[in-house]
A and B are shown apart, each in its own frame.
Chain A
Amino acid sequence: MMSRLGRNLCFACVSVLLVSSLGCNKPRATPVSPPPPRPAPAPADQPPTPSPTASISASPSSIDRGEQTTLSWETQNASAILIDQGIGNVNARGSIVVSPNDSTTYTIVARGGGGDARASTRVTIVEPRRLEPVVSLSDAEGLRREIEAGNVQDVFFEFDKADLSTMSQARLDRNAEIFKRYPQAKVIIEGHCDERGTEEYNLALGDRRALATYQFLVSRGVASSQLETISYGEERPFDPGHTESAWAQNRRAHFVAGN
């Protein structure tokens, strides 16, 4: 009973809205209005209310469907902070794990006495693209194109660890299928570290990461003769920053097509 009543009420409301919006769409002559006056400058004796600031980022910024990513944000001078896409009101700074089904732009609005500030970040859902098979293409060229298309994905590591997470193993399973499609192509597995360890230890840790990746791929049927490893330690950071999210980007095994 109640639900039917609710549905009817809703229907009535929507009808009213529809009617009124239809009414607005009627063509009618509108006089050209003069431009609005400029807002008066703030009186000099009042200290200006500081404008709010807002920033938001996603790490990683591109994921497979079903994977998770972390949104991190920071605001200043704001009394009300809202993130769209159903997240709602949030604290001045923080982070949240999201798992969107499709590529999504998250916008944060920070509202304060000094106005509004907005920032956005986009989480891209990577769709594995099946390339058109070209018979004449060499394996090396084929693998190169798969890598360029973003179909071969890097795997990421925890601080001071060379263990492969469940998510990394799933990625490597997909990578292994691609590598097996191009058996003549060489794959170079690069091990990378963030800058926080020492240079010497990082060179060793990067080797462990590359080898852990190598061994997993071999266990999934990739020919060991197809794979090579190299550690770059902390020499080749993907993100030159000195933040947690930069460090997370730099702890990875990266795949390069060899000759």
Chain B
Amino acid sequence: MRSLGFRFLIVLCFWYSSVQGQDRPYVIEIGQTAPTRLAVAPFTARSSDTQETVSTIKVFDEVLWSDLKFAGMFEMPSRSFYPLTPIRLREDVEFENWQVPSLDVDFLAFGNLQVYETAVVVEAFLFDVKTRQQVMGRRYTIADPTLIRRVAHQFADQIVFRLSAGASRGVAQTQIAYSAQKGSAKEIYVMDYDGNNVRTITANGGLNKFPEWTPDNSKLTFVTNLSSRRGWELWLQDLAGGRTVVPTPSNFVSSPAVSPDGNRLAFASREASGDNPEIFTSELNGSGRRNLTRHPAIDASPTWSPTGQQIAFISDRTGTPQLWMMDADGTNLRRLVSEGGHCDSPSWSPDGRFILYTWQAPKQWTHDIYIVEVATLRIFQLTSGAGSNENPSWSPDGRHVVFQSTRSGSRQIFIMNADGKNLKQLTAYGINGSPAWSGYFRAEE
């Protein structure tokens, strides 16, 4: 089988926008220019069209299609051009009909599904249309149809992994933690990356904000203000139950982040005798704490580089909050963005190349999302002219961004490609913010 690696393409097309308002397109291209064309045939019943099988196939098809569409890696021609013959197994595929000019797909996914009394079985395939070779064949067995979304997400991630030659493991099985308003409280929730399957993490009636994942996805760290206690606490909440309160120097603590090796926390807090927020690091149990900034300005919102060697943060030491970086021991301080206005919420990309952040232009009252390329300090604008946009966070494959925006009228959570395109709204009710994208949940084969 020939290598699929070169068929894959990553195009990050940033719309570069200087502060002077002169726009010009800026394109970063890696690999070849022809995008992979992918068809996903509707799945069919394996043995009989029972009502439950048909309705489960419908959910499976919708989830698989939207996962692959959102992946942003494929051209997926409309299903209206598809051949009409249903495909259950390889014998049903008429490859020449998938190579007509209107389709001309490189790869075809198809399969079958059956709901039995005690199990649901899905057989899923990916074929190279030109060589007519099987690229992937998977058989999934689940206990009942309520788990069908997981199977679709898993198959979507496996397709992305294979067709990107491992560049992405797919984000369809990832999750997003966030903070939602409940009366006067804010509680932490976790949902699937597509907004489904919301789970409650806290229900303590306090203010719970700024969740971040540990690299193994087993815990969330966030800050909590319980009405029964005064001030803010730094929490490490195990998603399987149980939590620890991490000691901090004072009752002000904000925006925690876990180091990529999972061993240290960075957070903003204040010395017990101090009067201004500084950046601290400590072990997960609070020991070995170090004040990295020691500057009489606001220093806040730390984010680790993927190597754990550096920390980017914001500081208003020059007057307004700007984006800075330093080594993880506090040395080698340097400024990354010097455009005036207000910067906040930096998030370092998984490949280390970019930092996402928000910027508010001078005398403007809304925030937009930008990326700075660390090596060149070039700046790319991802959102504009649609509400106030805050708290961006990278997907684990560095191809997508989750953020909060007021563009729909209230504060809600959105995801988009890292070029600002392919916008998708995840929440619609209440007030939702501080989203944080998880890491990958499982290794793909």
Contacts and interface: CB of A to CB of B under 8 A. Distances in A.
Interface stretch (B55-63, B74-82, B108-116, B247-255): B247-255
Interface stretch (B38-46, B190-198, B224-232, B416-424): B224-232
A231 B250 CA distance: 12
B429 interface: no
Interface stretch (B27-35, B90-98, B269-277, B378-386): B269-277
Interface residues of B, number: 36
Contact of A204 (B209, B277, B358): B277
Interface string A211-243: 110110000000000001111100110000000
Contacts of B345: 198, 200
Given A198-B390, A201-B342, A204-B268, A211 B231 contact: no
B251 A200 contact: no
A258 B251 CA distance: 16
Contacts of B320: 160
A208 B298 contact: yes
A205 interface: yes
SS class, residues of chain B in contact with chain A:
strand
A200 B365 contact: no
B277 A208 contact: yes
A181 interface: no
A188 to B, nearest CB: 7
B225 to A, nearest CB: 7
A211 B271 CA distance: 12
B255 A200 contact: yes
Interface in B305-362: 314, 316, 320-321, 342, 344-345, 358, 360
A199 interface: yes
**What is the interface residue range for chain A against chain B?**
20 to 34
Interface of A: 160, 188, 196-201, 203-205, 207-208, 211-212, 214-215, 228-232, 235-236, 258
Given A203-B300, A229-B231, A235-B186, 12 more contacts: A160-B342, A197-B360, A198-B321, A198-B345, A200-B210, A200-B344, A204-B300, A207-B277, A208-B277, A211-B270, A229-B251, A230-B230
30 contacts: A160-B316, A196-B360, A196-B365, A197-B342, A197-B344, A198-B390, A199-B209, A199-B391, A199-B433, A200-B210, A200-B254, A200-B255, A200-B300, A200-B301, A201-B298, A201-B314, A204-B277, A207-B277, A208-B275, A228-B230, A228-B231, A229-B231, A229-B252, A230-B230, A230-B231, A231-B232, A231-B252, A232-B207, A232-B225, A235-B207
Interface of B: 184, 186, 207, 209-210, 225, 230-232, 251-252, 254-255, 268, 270, 275-277, 298, 300-301, 314, 316, 320-321, 342, 344-345, 358, 360, 365, 367, 390-391, 433-434
